[in-house]
Amino acid sequence: MPRIAAPTIAAHREATWQRLREGFIRAVHEEGYGALTLAAIARHAGIARNTIYNYAPTKDALLVAVVKAEAAPIVSALVEACAAVEDPEDRLALLVRRQLAALAPAGG
């Protein structure tokens, strides 16, 4: 039985998911997505490879889950900011400005 490294199972699962997300992102940066294996992801995350299957059945499914998790706060903030703007043109301008600011390199 694996050790639970948090006060609750839910907290342990969330901490493991966070390590898995961070490990996945590091692994992609270091090894490239095409060459990536679940074993490499597990190594970067500091977890057992079979633990990954509790979160995603494949490398592709894990990619989707990580992208959704990373994008959720950004999308939520955009929706909230846009909801405060009544004019559709102003709302679109806000959306474009925020996305450009997030995606454009600093100073470029």
pLDDT at residue 6, rounded to an integer: 80
**Helix or strand run (H / E) with residue 20:** helix 9-31
What is the rounded CA–CA span in Å between residue 91 and residue 1?
52
pTM: 0.75
Give tens-digit pLDDT for 71-105: 899 889 999 999 999 999 999 999 999 888 877 76
Q: Could you tell me which residues come within 8 angstroms of residue 49 by beta carbon, excluding any fewer than 6 positions away?
A: 38, 39, 41, 42
